[in-house]
Amino acid sequence: MIRSISDLVVINLRNINIVNYAKYSSSALPRLSSEKYNIKRKNYGAIKPPDIDYFKSLLSNDRVLTEESDVLPFNIDWIKNCRGQSKVVLKPKTTEEVSQILSYCNDRKLAVCPQGGNTGLVGGSVPVFDEIVLNLSSMNKIISLDEISGALVCEAGCVLENLDNYVRDHNLIMPLDLGAKGSCHIGGNVSTNAGGLRLLRYGNLHGSILGIEAVKADGTVIDCLRTLKKDNTGYHLKHLFIGSEGTLGVVTKVAVHCPALSKSVSLGYFGVNSFEDVLELYKSAKESLGEILSAFEMADNEAISSTVENCKLSNPLEDYPFYVLIETSGSDESHDDEKLNRFLTKEMESGKIVDGTITSEPAKMKNIWNIRESIPGAGLLDGYVFKYDISIPLKNYYDIVLLLRKRMGNKVTRVYGYGHIGDGNIHINVSTPEYSKEICDMLEPYVFEEVAKVKGSISAEHGVGFRKPQFIHYSKDGTALQLMRDLKQCMDPNGILNPYKVLPDN
Amino acid sequence: MIRSISDLVVINLRNINIVNYAKYSSSALPRLSSEKYNIKRKNYGAIKPPDIDYFKSLLSNDRVLTEESDVLPFNIDWIKNCRGQSKVVLKPKTTEEVSQILSYCNDRKLAVCPQGGNTGLVGGSVPVFDEIVLNLSSMNKIISLDEISGALVCEAGCVLENLDNYVRDHNLIMPLDLGAKGSCHIGGNVSTNAGGLRLLRYGNLHGSILGIEAVKADGTVIDCLRTLKKDNTGYHLKHLFIGSEGTLGVVTKVAVHCPALSKSVSLGYFGVNSFEDVLELYKSAKESLGEILSAFEMADNEAISSTVENCKLSNPLEDYPFYVLIETSGSDESHDDEKLNRFLTKEMESGKIVDGTITSEPAKMKNIWNIRESIPGAGLLDGYVFKYDISIPLKNYYDIVLLLRKRMGNKVTRVYGYGHIGDGNIHINVSTPEYSKEICDMLEPYVFEEVAKVKGSISAEHGVGFRKPQFIHYSKDGTALQLMRDLKQCMDPNGILNPYKVLPDN
């Protein structure tokens, strides 16, 4: 049965700052990361009063935070898993300031934690010990937009959603979209090679980023901020900073290729009876919708029902084992409608779509997307969430959820899976009343071992950060790890940039 | 007037091996690169009989070429510009053999020139002095193809056209296409970040390459041969080997994401009166054709008329100042036809399209593409061609051709421009009866200075190779060049991989 969703009443969480939302959902502070994970401080310099004086002379006083209560929010990640012990937060406004800060820290061997919107899920954006937090939020200027080529140039601290709103006014869109869009920074997106909801259509950031300006650990500014689509003059240095999570340099400016805003966008939200049918629908959608398919997302019943329950949303569909969300974006509404209706008719007749709704009204689409985008945060309202973000061959895509449900039994509140079928990327959430070492040990490295068995990735889009260096070998072999270490040594010989992250100890 | 092209008679050069075609079009050998460009040999080891014995023990005798006449073709690039002095060509069949060869050469400080299909245009794939030619043509096996995800895994020596034919049988296409497809290797494509005709639609290789296996100078095999679309586990090492032209490692295997083969493909070939109209047509095509636009190419009258004349082809259109070639690829023929016809009707009425033909018959499309793809080779039949491959903002796109015509006057045979409007990439050819230092000095660095004035790239897709290191500073600043040197030092401390290429002398 295809129905209108006019009766859909949902609380629009989209514009709520997801970081604050999570941070204040519990009054208890997380344990210190160093104690929780038994980490030893490395031999970096300790910050002393003359250092603070230097930073204050460089920045204005209000951009050097040292009060404990001011610094605390910058020490905690938004899933309340990690807590660092930084004593100072610096908020540079220019690349030159970033360069001078890093040059000084490098000379004094002071460790630095670069921080964007702090929406990461692996503890990469908060300090572990007393690293200086280098927060980029004051570098938030849009520099230029070329409407014909689609090249947007901006500072690293621009919030993704602000950029998307800006380029939409010029008939363009950002090539990436993710649930944290209201808080995350483009610099953090680039540094973590963020994926998200549009990757199926517009590819990953290695393809979309035209240029980068970054500052190396010693303060050297690397200016690769070109806006050209094609430039084969020497090594493609910008890719060193995409996905290296602030350990090789601090991204200060980016040039992004923005695709044209589609004239016609539609959304379908369907109830499906089995994961096999979800897969068949994906094949069928690629066939029928071709070049207008812009998202193909799935969520299991537990993911949707817990989100609807925790966030007090309303689900326009009844209970089904699986839900599929399909977005189309094209240049001709009548053509796109014809393709989507043809797909729908075919798959309702085949029985793979049991129930569903399609809409191209912006408010209704926003409400449906809101359910999907609320899933990552909703689990926090159960107390604590163990999150796994894995790439896996499609035929094995959902197996791990079933394995985990069996393994964890009633020791946990829920186990559920959702994600980007088109990219082979599933997110698995295991929610519990609170963090438990026993549960953690039952999950890890078990999940990673299962992923390694099918040559998957133990971190499809969230990165390695603080939480996964000890598991990286499940997806990277020894020679690749050695090359990573060589590059780190080459570009940051004192190891001041984002220590305790990404690279495993020898 | 829109006409059928049934009367089009063209010689199909597409399946002629472009390398041989060029190589034997003149009997004169090019001068030695070292003399022509006044280069000094660096302090590498010299190959001695025990080295040859070692290589013969490692490979079979027939995969170690040492006869002068056997080695000669591997010393000369296909535009007859460069000639090296190598005494030995090695043809490994496995990654293990490549590893052993490099390990040995690294210990003995023997310089190595990795070579794919040898279709490069900047002398990057032939030796300068006595570097060992490491030719990958015997590593030409297709390893696997996942039809659902589109992941193709193959060895580096596979010829691009063979791969395209193979995946087409599985309803997929390669994400890149270029005139040299019949000879170029996928490993060379990756090492040079080849662009070509499909970049507008499918993006560059940094986005399409899923995984790479490469061998470092010391013989270490770096296995990043994953087939996952998303994998954020640590540094994205594969990008170090994309576009570094064999100076950081030898690519031995690749995993490529192949897009779905479009069910409907059409080609339009139009005569246009001015470059301003070409630009207006591009904007209009993006608007009207949207997501089905897969190529937008332009060529000026001189480019087409010289190609038609030199290659004895037939032009289905009469003489016009500019020609535009538009390809659409989509999933629904009737929708695509409607979009293309709407565009055509509009732009014939506007007068921007003066004459033209559209077709979706494969043989006719092949004939039209053949004219476009013959342009790069056709100039060689004038004798010698100075080739420039630049990225430039669209508003300045064609200026440089006019400037050069004025500057060169009747000192040269022809000056013409053609290229990929959608990517801001124009190819400029200056043909002369033979190579002339005087002409070269009039062209260089003049062309690069003009490009630098508008912040363009002096090498959009051809790379730096042997011919452009001394000009790289027009597109890369000093700190970026230093980082390139640091990476080279880190990954190839003895500098044995493709010396005299890419990196300028200090």
pLDDT in tens, B328-338: 999 999 999 99
More confident residue, B292 or B13: B292
> Which one-letter amino acid corresponds to residue A302?
E
Mean pLDDT of B299-321: 96
- List residues bridging with A497 in a β-sheet: A112
Q: In this structure, which amino acid lies at residue B13?
A: L
Q: Residue B27: which pLDDT band, with cuts at 50, 70 and 90? A: low
**Residue type for A233, please?**
T
Res B198: pLDDT: 84
Under DSSP, the state recorded for A84 is: -
Handedness of CA B227, B232, B238, B242 (dihedral sign): positive
pLDDT of residue A27: 55
CB contacts under 8 A, A 377-436 vs B, are: 391, 393-394, 420, 423-425
Q: Is the pLDDT of residue B40 over 80?
A: yes
CA-CA-CA-CA torsion for B461, B466, B467, B468, nearest 10 degrees? 60
With an 8 Å Cβ cutoff, are B231 and A391 in contact?
yes
Which residues of chain A, if any, have pLDDT below 70? 1-27
* Alpha-carbon gap: A291 to the closest alpha carbon of chain B (Å): 6
Tokens read off for A409? 């039994």
pLDDT for residue B19 is more than 80: no
Q: A503: which residues sit within 8 A by CB, 6+ positions away?
A: A247, A469, A481, A484, A485, A488, B234
- Å from A99 to nearest chain B CA? 13
Q: Write out chain A residues lying below 8 Å of B423, CB-based.
A: 229-230
Which A positions 14-43 lie with beta carbon below 8 A of chain B? none
Cα–Cα distance measured from residue B52 to residue A442, given in angstroms and rounded to the nearest whole number = 57
Helix (H, G, I), strand (E, B) or coil at B285: helix
A203 touches chain B (CB under 8 A): yes
Per-residue pLDDT at B26 exceeds 70: no
Determine which of A371-385, A425-439, B83-97, B244-258 has the lowest per-residue pLDDT on average: A371-385
Mean pLDDT on B392-402? 92
Of A25-34, B56-65, B229-238, B292-301, which gets the smallest average pLDDT? A25-34
Please list every residue in chain A whose beta carbon sits closer than 8 Å to the beta carbon of residue B255: none
Q: What does the pLDDT read at residue A381?
A: 87
Q: In angstroms, rounded to a whole number, what is the distance separating the alpha carbons of residues B126 and A272?
A: 58
Edge-to-edge order in the sheet of strand A132-135: A64-65, A89-90, A132-135, A112-115
pLDDT of residue B3: 36
Would the CA dihedral through A390, A391, A397, A400 be positive or negative? negative
A200-214, B13-27, B41-55, B240-254: which range is least confident on average? Answer: B13-27
Which residue, chain included where needed, has tokens 């060992």?
B132
Contact A339 B330 (CB under 8 A): no
Model confidence, pTM: 0.92
| Cα separation, A70 vs A353, whole angstroms | 51
Mean model confidence pLDDT for chain B: 92
The DSSP code for B460 is: S
Kindly report the CATH number that applies to the domain delimited by A264-454: 3.30.70.2190
Asked if A484's CB is within 8 angstroms of B235's CB, the reply is yes
Query: pLDDT per residue over B347-364, tens digit each?
Result: 999 999 999 999 999 999
Contact B391 A456 (CB under 8 A): no
Interface contact B491, partner A, CB < 8 A: yes
Main-chain phi, psi angles of B82, to 5 degrees: -120, 145
Highest CATH level, class, for B142-257: alpha beta
One-letter amino acid at A238 equals K
Q: How far is CA A59 from CA A45, A55, A250, A263, B475, in A?
A: 21, 6, 18, 45, 33
CATH number for A26-135 (one of 3.40.50.300, 3.30.43.10, 3.40.1440.10, 3.90.1570.30): it is 3.30.43.10
In this model, does residue B308 exceed pLDDT 90? yes
* Segments making up each domain of chain A, as ranges: 26-135, 142-257, 264-454
Span B53-58, mean pLDDT? 98
Q: Do A483 and B222 touch (CB under 8 A)?
A: yes
Please report, rounded to a whole number, the percentage of residues in chain B having pLDDT higher than 90: 86
**With 50 as the cut, is the pLDDT of residue B4 above it?**
no
CB contact residues (below 8 A), chain A span 234-273, against chain B: 234-237, 239-240, 242-244, 248, 260, 262-263
Measure CB to CB from residue B479 to each of A222, A226, A291 and give the nearest one: A222
pLDDT, tens digit, for every residue of B120-150? 999 999 999 999 999 999 999 999 999 888 9
Q: Between chains, do A487 and B235 touch, taking CB under 8 Å as contact?
A: yes
CB of A85 within 8 Å of a chain B CB? The answer is no
* CB-based contact, A276 to chain B, within 8 Å: no
* ipTM for the complex shown: 0.92
Question: Is pLDDT of B9 > 50?
Answer: no
Residue B281, helix vs strand vs coil: helix
Count CB-CB contacts under 10 A for residue A504.
16
Q: Check CB contact of B143 with chain A, cutoff 8 Å.
A: no
B149, B230, B490 member nearest A394 (Cβ): B149
Q: Does A147 touch chain B (CB under 8 A)?
A: no
> Is residue A269 a contact partner of residue B499, using CB atoms and an 8 Å limit?
no
pLDDT of residue A443: 97
Question: Which residues is B88 bridged to in the sheet?
Answer: none
The C-alpha of B312 sits at a distance from chain A's nearest C-alpha, in angstroms, of: 32
| Interface with A, mutate which of B191, B233, B483 (most A CBs under 10 A) | B233
B40 exposure class (CB count in 10 Å sphere: 0-12, 13-18, 19+): exposed
Task: Using DSSP bridges, classify how beta strands B293-300 and B414-420 pair: parallel, antiparallel or unpaired.
Answer: antiparallel
